[in-house]
Chain A
């Protein structure tokens, strides 16, 4: 079931198209990664989904309804790239205030704040001011504020930026858990490892346009180069016809499978020789490689005409 549908979105900044005809659908309960280089238009796109910005043309549908920022605000949670909080306000109080702004009653807000603080090990910091927190702590706080009202759709703009490995892991676990509980999550990033680990679906944006879109496994399949890795006893025998050898080292043979050949036939060939096979697998490109390949050769930064 599609939770969020983005259709032909266009947004101009001055005369430049920051978002140029982008469409995609996100299914409920899935984790969606929005990838792209700096200046690609990710933040703008996310802000339109949140309702902070208005698109110049195109539609955004939430649960089949046209997105109405005021009506749907309680269903969405947004964590901007630049973390923002009232520096001099005590964090417990601040969490309650912001939760109430999202529509929770005071009682609920207090209850849930305390709950989350307990879960993320922040209880002793309840009365501290934001300016007294460590970075990791303030990012945890930012996260709490984003999810406290149990939104259906979670929008995270570069959530892992600046996090140390421990806290990045905590965040990753929370995202997983929330997705399992039914929350749909969309986040933007350029950290590919995270994407491969967590995302079901991704879209790659460059210069405001959508370049790639689909399930992670599918994309990797689409971009595979028919590369295989074979570990066997003796790799220096004559290869079969259907392969181009890319690398030979020790027991390891790296080759490219030609058009009409099948991997099974190749394996059969070596088996028939009585060669001892240790391992045989297809090498799929990493998202990182796909990303670089797609984006390379295009300008990284935006030129504003003014």
Chain B
């Protein structure tokens, strides 16, 4: 069948290009590199800060620990002198502690030339509060070990759904966010690839020749499917890549224990637990399959629209902007909806976003790790399929005429005619 010929050509042309190979190999490398970089930054990038403290309450002296790149120096000078010392760069900050009422809410002044940053400020206030709490406990007659026992967080949560499966909000968050992001980027990327190809064929007139041999619909469909296959090939290569590198990474995890620890204390304590569940979860297959479905469904829906837009372009690239924007907008909206759906997977907005075909790929993928009722999944899937069938039919009508229309300025009114007036 001729469409197969076209699919084959579209696929081979792209896969053999140098840019494909480079991009396919480069992106995982960049991705992993970035992860390392983030890990590294979490550990050691904050510079040392020295804070001079004037403690009028005598409560804190020798009780504040020098850790986390924070050093406390106690001085008995006047505020003015110490402020000057900070101005002279002797210290990074000056903490003024007056004699205060231990039971009231108080605000201590932290004077600095430049802001010390949220992390540092939190470190300082955490330590101050910690000391005060200990003091209160002592007054109440408790020792430090008693204190520790009381304060220990012994309870953690384990979320289980109907099937008795163990869930974990953190890992779900990560997977949901990750797949939403990937879908967002790749629907845009491959959609635009289709658009550019259509534009090229129109401007260098090869379209006319092809259309004298096959129906415009065959050309459009062949192109869309060909590009889809390129995307799938790329994903397959990446999955293989990640599996190979992932197992190598896990094997060398012991020497980067610091990295994990730092990430541990810096963020939420359940990250390690989440990570373990992430790796061991058997839901990978189900998530993977849904990812495939939504990638293809969303891609087909948008690729058709992008093909239609590409066929409308003239010499003036500026004009095509007015057509490209309405297509890209729903994708971006989908992304925004996703970020809210991640926080509240069962809100009305999340449900709507995951059913509406223009946004469902991104939003539903984000919800899936949290568990979605079967009827919602089914409805969303059916709507998406209907969605891309509809956009493909619409796009075909526009593409078929647009691709041969040169020179004349194409308006929305004109397009309306193509869609609704029956052609032979």
Residue pair A54, B204 in contact (C-beta under 8 Å): no
Cα A70 to Cα B404 with chains together (Å): 18
Cα A86 to Cα B424 with chains together (Å): 30
Residues of the A chain whose Cβ atoms lie less than 8 Å from the Cβ of B5 = 97, 100-101
> How many positions in chain A have a CB within 8 Å of any CB in the partner chain?
26
Residue of A nearest to B216 (CB): A52
Known: A54-B424, A101-B214. A89 touches B208 (CB 8 A): no
Residue of B nearest to A84 (CB): B205
Residue pair B212, A51 in contact (C-beta under 8 Å): yes
Cα A50 to Cα B213 with chains together (Å): 9
One of A73-81, A120-128, A227-235 contacting the partner: A73-81
Residue pair A78, B13 in contact (C-beta under 8 Å): no
At the interface, yes or no: B2 with Cβ under 8 Å from chain A? yes
Q: Which of B2, B6, B204 contacts A84 (CB 8 A)?
A: B204
Cα A275 to Cα B206 with chains together (Å): 65
Cα A68 to Cα B6 with chains together (Å): 21
Residues of the A chain whose Cβ atoms lie less than 8 Å from the Cβ of B213 = 73, 98, 101-103
Q: Per DSSP, are chain B's interface residues mostly helix, strand or loop, or mixed?
A: helix
Minimum CB–CB distance for B369 against chain A, Å: 42
Category for how many chain B residues contact A:
20 to 34
Residues of the B chain whose Cβ atoms lie less than 8 Å from the Cβ of A100 = 5
Residue pair B209, A84 in contact (C-beta under 8 Å): yes
Residues of the B chain whose Cβ atoms lie less than 8 Å from the Cβ of A19 = none
Known: A51-B212, A54-B423, A73-B212. A101 touches B207 (CB 8 A): no
Q: Mark A88-109, 1 if CB is under 8 A from B, else 0.
A: 0100000001101111000000
Q: Mark B1-41, 1 if CB is under 8 A from A, else 0.
A: 01001100100010000000000000000000000000000
Residues of the B chain whose Cβ atoms lie less than 8 Å from the Cβ of A87 = 204
Residue pair B209, A145 in contact (C-beta under 8 Å): yes
Residue of B nearest to A86 (CB): B206
At the interface, yes or no: B232 with Cβ under 8 Å from chain A? no
Known: A50-B212, A73-B212. A101 touches B204 (CB 8 A): no
Minimum CB–CB distance for B209 against chain A, Å: 5
Q: Mark B398-424, 1 if CB is under 8 A from A, else 0.
A: 000000100000000000000000011
Minimum CB–CB distance for A82 against chain B, Å: 5
Residues of the B chain whose Cβ atoms lie less than 8 Å from the Cβ of A224 = none
Q: Which of B2, B13, B201, B404 contacts A52 (CB 8 A)?
A: B404
Cα A69 to Cα B207 with chains together (Å): 16
Interface centre among A80, A89, A102, by most chain B C-beta atoms within 10 angstroms, is: A80
Q: Which of A70, A82, A103 contacts B205 (CB 8 A)?
A: A82
Residue of A nearest to B417 (CB): A14
Cα A78 to Cα B212 with chains together (Å): 7
Minimum CB–CB distance for A89 against chain B, Å: 7
Cα A100 to Cα B211 with chains together (Å): 13
Residues of the A chain whose Cβ atoms lie less than 8 Å from the Cβ of B13 = 89
Residues of the A chain whose Cβ atoms lie less than 8 Å from the Cβ of B142 = none
27 example contacts (A-B, Cβ-Cβ < 8 A) are as follows A47-B404, A50-B212, A51-B212, A52-B211, A52-B212, A52-B404, A53-B404, A69-B215, A73-B212, A73-B213, A78-B208, A78-B209, A80-B208, A80-B209, A82-B205, A82-B208, A84-B205, A84-B207, A84-B208, A84-B209, A86-B201, A97-B9, A98-B210, A98-B213, A100-B5, A101-B210, A101-B213
